[in-house]
């Protein structure tokens, strides 16, 4: 699956596929919604939370190397990441996820 998402620094084919599957179809959409909303979409789509992936996405949209995040900036992003993960985990389940959770079959 080709995507112009891979034209953004630090975004490779696997990340592009995950973003597309999560409803972020292209670079313009990613730039418009930002890293935080895009990562929320990934989590809602079932991606496992990973702080490095979160801040790499933030650095990507700034055109910076993924490992350029340090100090207070990294601490701030960590707080935002932790809040996002807590928010997504607290969201009520719907549809098949709710049914699977009721019978103990949904993976957490």
Nearest to 22 by CA among 56, 45, 53, 43: 45
pTM assigned to the model: 0.81
Q: What's the pLDDT tens digit per position in 40-94? A: 999 999 899 999 999 999 999 999 999 999 999 999 999 999 999 999 988 766 6
Phi first, then psi, for residue 107 (nearest 5°) are: -75, 130
The residues, any chain, with a CB within 8 Å of residue 69's CB and separated by 6 or more, are: 55, 58, 59, 77
Give 4-102's CATH code, choosing from 1.10.260.40, 1.10.150.20, 1.10.540.10, 1.10.3980.10. 1.10.150.20
Instruction: Show me where the domains of the chain are located.
Output: 4-102
Say how far apart CA 26 and CA 45 lie, in whole Å.
Answer: 16
């Amino acid at each position: 699956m080709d995507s112009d998402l891979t034209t953004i620094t630090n975004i490779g084919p696997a990340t592009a596929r995950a973003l597309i599957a999560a409803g972020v179809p292209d670079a313009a959409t990613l730039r418009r919604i930002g890293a935080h909303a895009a990562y929320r979409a990934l989590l809602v789509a079932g991606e496992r939370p990973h702080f490095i992936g979160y801040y790499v996405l933030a650095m990507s949209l700034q055109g910076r190397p993924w490992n350029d995040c340090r100090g207070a900036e990294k601490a701030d992003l960590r707080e935002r990441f932790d809040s996002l993960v807590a928010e997504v985990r607290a969201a009520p389940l719907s549809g098949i996820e709710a049914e699977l959770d009721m019978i103990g079959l949904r993976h957490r």
